[in-house]
A and B are shown apart, each in its own frame.
Chain A
Amino acid sequence: MVTYIVRRLVTAVLILFGASFIVYLLTAASGDPLAELRASNAPNREQLIQARVELLDLNTPAPLRYFGWLSGAVQCAVPFVGNCDLGRSIQGEAVTDALTRAVGNTIMLVTAATVLAIIIGISLGIITALRQYSGLDYGVTFMSFLFFSLPIFWLAVLLKEFGAIGFNNFLTDPDIPLSSILVVALISGVIFTILAGGTVKRKALAFLIGAVAAGGLLYLLNLIDWFTRPGLGPIVILVFGVAIAYGITLLTAGLKNRKALYSALIMVALGLVAYYVVNPFLGAATIWLLLLLAVVTVGVGMGVGFLLGGYDRVQSMRTAALTGLLMAALIVLDRFMVTWPSYVSNSRIRGRPIATIGASTPGLEGDFWIQGLDNFTHLLLPTLALLLASLASYSRYSRASMLEIMNMDYIRTARAKGLSERTVVMRHAFRNALIPLATLVAFDIGALIGGAVITEQVFAFSGMGQLFVQALLRTDPNPIMGFFLVVGILALVFNLIADLVYSVLDPRVRVKA
């Protein structure tokens, strides 16, 4: 194993040298960094050209210049010395600084989209695989093909138009006309029908429930003017919490496991107590306090599960911890919602909260909650665009993988043993269906830091993609090389991780030692 990893790393370094050399030459050939200066009418044109030639070492031919760049770049491999030198951009900024800033922004942009795409995509894939050839399957398949075929810049412009401008217009006078409520109720009814499947009677009932629930909810929210002053309140949190407790138990342990169910319900009760106890302290919250609280919640959940658990403690612990986390998320969500009116009426926002460009509102002052909402409103649209674009591949892959697994003999064996369908699906099939996806996820994370080049461009989000595009437009070689270095190293590392993870998860696959 160790020899394998070492060998892979050595090859990776060689590949990196080769690839960076090629990219360096290509970048050098892609244009003249002096073009804009040559065309300028500035009186000190000659000095400017001279200065830039010196800055970028343009008198040296490109293949030799590469080694100059390399000698600086190699020092980045030595940790804790700080001699890292990736050259300077045309403006004279050190590339390392620009990269640090860009990577931070990009991580902020892609994290939520990736996590959501993985969770939603895999769940959709599994569900459609279990209900192959149903209306749901056809619907989801068509939608995922459609999203897969949408050019992201087109989708982004649509989102800006309807998600930001339209929604902001709506928020200035949040009144939903009756006709819209009816349309939404109808759509929700159809979705419920497709989800329910089964006999005609069942479908009709599902349609009725879906339509009435959605229509009634919208009518009620409209009546109490929820969209200007959103919030959940203790009662809604309790209702959601109980639903979550049942849902989580159903998935992880099965409702027959009373001990798991009770520990989940206890967590809901504790969460409601926490809602009153913790809320006063949340005014001065920071991200670290919230993380600490999350860890405490998981700890308490495991404790409750352990004490109640009986012979199969792990199941109860898992259920309780998950329920606790979701309860905490509800409380935080409520807190954000309560902050919403003061955010919208902020003088910097002026009643148009959903932003179309940038990463944050310049000059906005406020506590953690205001800043959090500001991040949310800026990230909402790019996240949606990225989510829709990457959802499709996850749902297709997980569906295919799940279908293959459900054909396996050991699934038949599990059924023959008399195990419940939940155990067969969640314990035997689901886990194994995830194995091929682990590699996909690893690849994706590696590629993501490279940034969503087009998305960043459309939303004017200054991450890695923007760094690259701007540098290329200005024929600025060093930032391009810096960008490539980060992306290339990540791609190689995650490639290796993907292979290792696969061999750990699937013992049939052996790495060549």
Chain B
Amino acid sequence: MTIQDSSETPRGEVGPSPREVGPVADPETKGMSQGQLVRRRFFDNTAAIISLVVFAIIFLLAFTSLGFAGIPGWWKYNHTQFLPVVDGGAPTVTGPFSWGDHPFGQDSIGRDYFALTMRGAQNSIIIMLLIGAISGLVGVVVGACSGYFRGWTEAVLMRITDIVIIIPLIVLAAVLGRTVGTSLGAGAAVFFLGVVLGLLAWTGMARLVRGEFLSLREREFVDAAKIAGASNARIIFKHILPNAVGVIIVNTTLLMSAAILLETGLSYLGFGVRAPDVSLGLIISQNQEAFQTRPWLFWFPGLFIVLICLTINFIGDGLRDAFDPRQKKFNPRKAKEADRPVRA
């Protein structure tokens, strides 16, 4: 599922090809734990690593430039200052190290657009992480309980999941976002939005984890643990959960990339983060009319949304390949080569 073929290339170059080795275990994988294997597969994946680096840069840029939670940042302006508009608010960035006074320009009322974009990126990343953490946690707990205990626990939890799942997320989020957005201050509203969205987006995760648990709980090692007298909690957390961790991590990452689009979309519609605070979706919505005259107001925030979402997607995809390399096996060219003597 990735851009880069991670597990096959080094094998073909370094060691003997699997065909020569035959049924003997791959020497490269010998004596490695599951964690080491996953880590190596992930680090072999160029696209995922590049994405990880890019995301780290964006993260650092957004949080250090403006500062966060009272700690001052290194950028001279912040997103609330009204400054005299210089040169029609045109961006002054000319190269990676010559930023000028307003690298991303200024908006129509003179606010520094770099500061605005960074603040928006901060908010989007905070909400994304909150959604990932909360919905991941809720989804895992609900899925694990219903998959492990079965019976009425499962019935009740799954009916609740069904109720949440048929209400379109955007409806719930818009109604709730509106409800809480009007009653809270600007800073807290972002956190609250993240929490609310996180409490709504767990349904897919719950179903997935339940499916994993349903099949894992029938395995022999669970029986062994039961006979050895392990408690339910110990079986769930020590025996089953580590086996399902791949699915959980991958799905959380993909959920976060969807969360970015959900948050920016909601803010664009006016139901998410709202003025005076900033979100990437909100500043695009505020400035889209100016596309003809001052296109940078439109390009920079959009670029950041795309970059954040794209990098998270590639990281998630790299993780999926690292945890589940099954899809790699089929290689049509090899299949044809293998077929050739048989056909002839």
A and B together in one complex:
yes
Residues on A lying within 8 angstroms of B by beta carbon are 11, 14-16, 18-19, 22-23, 26-27, 29-31, 130-133, 138, 141-142, 145-146, 148-154, 157, 161, 396, 399-400, 403-404, 406-407, 415-416, 418, 447, 450, 453-454, 457, 468-469, 472-473, 480, 483-484, 487-488, 491-492
B330 in contact with A132 (CB, 8 Å): yes
The number of chain B residues with a CB under 8 A from chain A is: 54
Which residues of chain B have a CB within 8 Å of any CB of chain A?
A: 1-3, 5, 159, 162-168, 170-172, 174-176, 178-179, 182, 257, 261, 264-265, 268-271, 281, 284-285, 288, 291-292, 298, 302, 305-306, 309-310, 313-314, 317, 326-327, 329-332, 335, 339, 342-343
**Chain A residue at smallest Cβ distance from B343:** A418
User: Are A31 and B178 neighbours in the complex by a CB distance under 8 Å?
Assistant: yes
How many angstroms from the CA of A366 to the CA of B313 in the assembled complex?
A: 48
Could you say which of A19, A149, A404, A407 contacts B310, with CB atoms under 8 Å apart? A149
Known contacts being A11-B159, A151-B305, A416-B342, is A457 close to B175, with CB within 8 Å? no
Instruction: Kindly provide the distance from the CB of A432 to the nearest chain B CB, expressed in whole angstroms.
Output: 14
Total A-B Cβ pairs within 8 A: 144
* 8 nearest A-B residue pairs (beta carbon): A149-B309, A149-B310, A154-B302, A491-B166, A407-B330, A19-B163, A26-B175, A488-B166
User: Which residues on the B side are within 8 Å of A27 (C-beta)?
Assistant: 175
Q: Would A488 and B264 count as touching, CB distance under 8 A?
A: no
In the complex, the answer to whether A151 meets B330 with C-beta atoms within 8 Å is: no
**Neighbouring A residues of B292 by C-beta, 8 Å:** 161
What residue in chain B is nearest A408 (Cβ atoms)? B330
B179-A29 in contact (CB<8A)? yes
Give the distance in Å from the alpha carbon of A416 to the alpha carbon of B270 in the complex: 60
Q: Are B171 and A23 in contact, with the CB atoms below 8 A?
A: yes
Of all chain B residues, which has the CB nearest A25? B175
Which B residues touch A131, using CB under 8 A?
A: 332
A266 to B84 CA separation, bound complex (whole angstroms): 74
Q: Are A157 and B178 in contact (CB under 8 A)?
A: no
Chain B residues in 8 Å Cβ range of A396: 1
Contact check, B306 vs A133: say whether CB atoms are below 8 A apart.
no
Other-chain contact of A31, B172, B179, B284 (Cβ < 8 Å): B179
Q: How far is the CA of A19 from the CA of B165 in the complex (A)?
A: 9
Given A26-B175, A154-B302, is A149 in contact with B170 using a C-beta cutoff of 8 Å?
A: no
Q: Which chain B positions have C-beta within 8 A of A14?
A: 159
The CB with the most chain B CB atoms within 10 A, among A15, A396, A487, is that of A15
Smallest CB separation, A143 vs chain B (Å): 11
Who on chain B is nearest to A130 by CB? B332
CB proximity of B123 to chain A, nearest CB, Å:
15
List 12 additional A-B contacts (Cβ < 8 Å) besides A145-B310, A151-B309, A491-B168: A27-B175, A30-B175, A131-B332, A133-B331, A145-B313, A149-B310, A153-B268, A406-B335, A407-B330, A453-B170, A469-B269, A484-B171
Taking the closest CB of chain B, its distance from the CB of A503, in whole angstroms, is 17
- Please give, as numbers and ranges, the residues of chain B lying within 8 Å of A157 by CB-CB distance: 284, 288, 291, 298
CA distance A150 to B310 in the complex (A): 8
Q: Would you call B171 and A152 a contact (CB within 8 A)?
A: no
Chain B residue at minimal CB-CB distance from A144: B313
| Chain A residues, Cβ within 8 Å of B167 | 19, 22-23, 484, 488
Contact A15 B306 (CB under 8 A): no
18 contacting pairs across A/B (C-beta < 8 A) = A15-B159, A27-B175, A29-B179, A141-B2, A141-B3, A151-B264, A153-B281, A161-B291, A406-B332, A407-B329, A416-B342, A450-B168, A453-B170, A457-B268, A472-B174, A484-B168, A491-B165, A491-B166
Give Cα A133–Cα B8 distance, bound, in whole angstroms: 11
Given A151-B268, A157-B288, residue A15 in contact with residue B166 (CB < 8 A)? yes
Task: Determine the distance from Cα of A73 to Cα of B167 in the docked complex, in whole angstroms.
Answer: 17
Across the interface, do B327 and A404 meet the contact criterion of CB distance under 8 Å? Answer: yes
Most chain B CB inside 10 Å of its own CB: which residue of A151, A152, A491: A151
Instruction: Name the A residues within 8 Å of B269 (CB-CB).
Output: 453-454, 457, 469
Whole-angstrom distance from the CB of A484 to the nearest CB of chain B? 6
Complex contact A16–B166 (CB within 8 A): yes
Residues of B within 8 A of A488 (CB): 166-167
Q: A148 to B314, alpha carbons, bound, how many Å?
A: 11
Q: CA of A491 to CA of B166 in the docked complex: distance in angstroms?
A: 6
A153 and B291 CA atoms in complex are apart in Å by 13
Rounded to whole angstroms, the CA-CA distance of A138 and B265 in the bound complex is 29
Q: Are A149 and B330 in contact (CB under 8 A)?
A: no
Q: A31-B179, A403-B330, A404-B327 are in contact. Are A153 and B310 (CB under 8 A)?
A: no
Q: Is the CB of B331 within 8 A of A22?
A: no
**Please, how many angstroms separate the alpha-carbon atoms of A116 and B295 in the complex?**
31
| Whole-angstrom distance between the Cβ of A388 and the nearest chain B Cβ | 13
Least CB separation from B182: chain A residue: A31
CA distance A15 to B171 in the complex (A): 17
Cβ-closest chain B residue relative to A160: B291
User: Is there an interface contact between B313 and A148, defined as CB atoms closer than 8 Å?
Assistant: yes
Taken together as a complex, chains A and B put the C-alpha atoms of A355 and B2 apart, in Å, by 38
Cβ B265 vs Cβ A406 within 8 A? no
Q: Is the CB of A454 within 8 A of B268?
A: yes
Q: Which residue in chain B gives the minimum CB-CB distance to A396?
A: B1
Complex interface: chain B residues within 8 A of A11 (CB): 159, 162
A15's partner among B3, B163, B168, B343 (CB-CB below 8 A) is B163
B142 → chain A closest CB, angstroms = 16
Chain A residues within an 8 Å CB radius of B305 = 149, 151, 154
**Shortest distance from the beta carbon of A167 to any chain B beta carbon, whole Å:** 15
When A133-B331, A145-B314, A151-B268 are in contact, do A400 and B1 touch as well, CB less than 8 Å? yes
Q: Which B residues lie within 8 Å of A142 (CB)?
A: 3
- Do A146 and B330 form a contact, CB below 8 Å, given A18-B163, A152-B265? no
Interfacial chain B residues near A468, Cβ < 8 Å? 171, 174
* Set of chain B residues within 8 Å of A145, measured between Cβ atoms: 310, 313-314, 317
Q: How far is the CA of A403 from the CA of B314 in the complex (A)?
A: 19
User: CB distance A447 to B168 under 8 Å?
Assistant: yes
Quick one: closest A residue to B331, CB to CB?
Answer: A132
- Do A406 and B330 touch (CB < 8 A)? yes
When chains A and B are docked, how far (Å) is the Cα of A415 from the Cα of B175? 56
A15 cross-chain contacts in B, Cβ below 8 A: 159, 162-163, 166
Pair A454/B288 contact, Cβ less than 8 Å: no
Q: How far is the CB of B342 from chain A (nearest CB, A)?
A: 7
- Contact between A149 and B306 (Cβ–Cβ < 8 Å)? yes
CB distance from B227 to the nearest CB of A (A): 29
B339 to chain A: closest residue by CB:
A415
Of the listed residues A19, A154, A161, A487, the one surrounded by the most CB atoms of chain B closer than 10 A to its CB is A154
A492 touching B327, Cβ below 8 Å: no
A491 to B165, CA, bound (A): 9
A487 to B175, CA, bound (A): 16
Given contacts A153-B268, A157-B298, A453-B170, contact A22 B163 (CB under 8 A): yes
**What chain A residues lie within 8 Å of B159 (beta carbons)?**
11, 14-15, 18
CB B167 to nearest CB in A, in angstroms, measures: 5
Quick check: A149 and B329 within 8 Å, CB to CB?
Answer: no
Q: Nearest Cβ in chain A — how far from B181, in angstroms?
A: 10
Chain A nearest CB from B6 CB (Å) reads 11
A296 to chain B, nearest CB (A): 41
